[in-house]
Amino acid sequence: MGQENRFQYDVAVVGLGRIGLPLALSFADRGLSVLGVDIDPARLEAVASGKLPFHEPGCEELLGRVRAAGQPQLSERVVDAAQARDIVITLGTPTFSHIEIDISQIRRALDDLMSYLQAGQLLVLRSTVAPGTTEFVAGYVHKRRGLLIDEELFVAHVPERIAAGRFLAEIDTLPCIVGGVGPASTRRAAALFSAFGAPIVETTPVQAELAKIWTNILRYTQFALPNLLMMDCERYGANVFEVIDLINRDYPRGGISNPGLTAGTCLRKDFAFSEERSNAPGMLLAVSRVHESVPLFLVEGIKRRIGSLSNRKVAVLGLAFKADTDDERDSLSHKLIRLLERELADVAVCDPLVATPTAPLAEAVRDAAAVVIATNHSCFRTAEALQTILTATAPGSLLVDPWNCFGQRCVFLPTASLAPLQPSR
């Protein structure tokens, strides 16, 4: 390890977003000297002042603890990452509308770093990437700099599979997949991530890439089935929750989950990383189309039951893409709101978790003709919330609860028929 003392930091984390920042703090908490890099000055200022720019349970306390030890050091210059022995890239990887990964953030960071990379360094892709991207990165650096991959420069993919809101619970327990472009790269990346003590599973880069995106494809596809069933049930006048119960009850071979608005920045795009070179083009696009049609299905369902929404108040509860997070990115709530506004409805929104200003629950639902539970936050799944909806909405109003938050087991239910809060299944 003698040569590694040449480096000023043990690890640099490039991109202090929802994935990078908790990771940088966790490395620092394990005693590594850490440089955090982000091009967003507002983000760096927030971190420097001890403020977590988003909600992730336990991370603000963790930030306070590592700051007291002078960690992490911060920079808005990507080149400074070259002062670290190990460089972990946690940049965004969106998709183009061309059904293709957009790796421009990674390309830009690599281009900035290129002249400064040194023999002995490890480059880890922690971002979610399309199959083949890690090999591309290794080849790109070799082509531009001539460094021998797996001998002078070590490159690996160590995908992030932790769910939002569970970072600190899972960083030291969830098996950590390590796919180096060669055995030495795998060893180096495994050594870095062994700081967390979770089981390390060694594999090839492409298998690591596939494992990550298919982890998300599996969830996206699984959630599409109850949503498609919900829409089928409407066609046949059936109750989706009763059908789900018939499917699942005491059946020993798996089951189907409840419907809901399924999206978010990962699920909505990671499937496209498979779709860009698919052997069955369109299959996963169809899964995506099912989810994307749920907001319109809900709007049409409301109109079928209570008529035109023009000049009528509709309350949307939840802006975040999933329960108990403040992350609104790629949430279908926004699409739902846009569609309701196109019906000339007066939309009121309540989400106490997100940064976007919204109304308190009682105000949002007051005199509403319909209330849509768009996000199944814990704060909505209470007897008090149900009581507020029951008492404050307009006569003849409709509750729309695809999540079965209130255990009423009905997607569209007149509030007059509401039963007391039932345990949801």
Which residue ranges make up the site for ligand NAD (CB under 6 A)? 14-20, 37-40, 43, 78, 90-93, 105, 108-109, 127-128, 160, 164, 265-266
Minimum distance from residue 363 beta carbon to ligand NAD (Å): 31
- Residue ranges of alpha helices (H) inside 237-382 are 240-248, 267-275, 283-306, 332-342, 361-365
CA atoms within 13 A on the CB side of 19: 20
Q: State which residue, 47 or 337, has the beta carbon closest to ligand NAD.
A: 47
Minimum distance from residue 134 beta carbon to ligand NAD (Å): 13
The answer to whether 173 touches 161, Cβ cutoff 8 Å, is: no
Could you give the C-alpha distances from 208 to 125, 157, 221, 329, 333, in angstroms and in order?
11, 7, 20, 25, 32
Q: State which residue, 272 or 317, has the beta carbon closest to ligand NAD.
A: 272
Minimum distance from residue 89 beta carbon to ligand NAD (Å): 9
Q: Can you tell me which residue has the tokens 């009528």?
A: 312
Q: State which residue, 109 or 349, has the beta carbon closest to ligand NAD.
A: 109
Q: State which residue, 227 or 265, has the beta carbon closest to ligand NAD.
A: 265
Q: State which residue, 128 or 397, has the beta carbon closest to ligand NAD.
A: 128
Could you give the C-alpha distances from 260 to 47, 245, 253, 278, 291, in angstroms and in order?
34, 16, 23, 27, 9
Minimum distance from residue 149 beta carbon to ligand NAD (Å): 22
Q: State which residue, 105 or 204, has the beta carbon closest to ligand NAD.
A: 105
Q: Report the SS3 class of residue 77.
A: coil
Minimum distance from residue 153 beta carbon to ligand NAD (Å): 19
Q: State which residue, 105 or 239, has the beta carbon closest to ligand NAD.
A: 105
Residues whose CB is less than 8 angstroms from the CB of residue 322 and which lie 6 or more positions away in sequence, other chains included: 164, 264, 375, 376
Minimum distance from residue 271 beta carbon to ligand NAD (Å): 12
101 residue type, one letter? I
Torsion sign, CA atoms 124, 129, 130, 131: positive
Torsions phi, psi of 266, nearest 5?
Answer: -85, -55
Residue 98 CB neighbours (<10 A): 9
Q: Report the SS3 class of residue 239.
A: coil
Residues whose CB is less than 8 angstroms from the CB of residue 279 and which lie 6 or more positions away in sequence, other chains included: none
Minimum distance from residue 336 beta carbon to ligand NAD (Å): 21
Q: State which residue, 17 or 295, has the beta carbon closest to ligand NAD.
A: 17
43 residue type, one letter? R
- Residue ranges of alpha helices (H) inside 166-204 are 167-170, 183-193
d(CA 37, CA 24): 10
Q: State which residue, 19 or 350, has the beta carbon closest to ligand NAD.
A: 19
Q: State which residue, 37 or 320, has the beta carbon closest to ligand NAD.
A: 37
The answer to whether 405 touches 376, Cβ cutoff 8 Å, is: yes
To which H or E segment does residue 122 belong?
Answer: strand 122-125
Minimum distance from residue 206 beta carbon to ligand NAD (Å): 17
CA atoms within 13 A on the CB side of 233: 19
Residue 190 CB neighbours (<10 A): 17
Minimum distance from residue 159 beta carbon to ligand NAD (Å): 7
Minimum distance from residue 44 beta carbon to ligand NAD (Å): 9
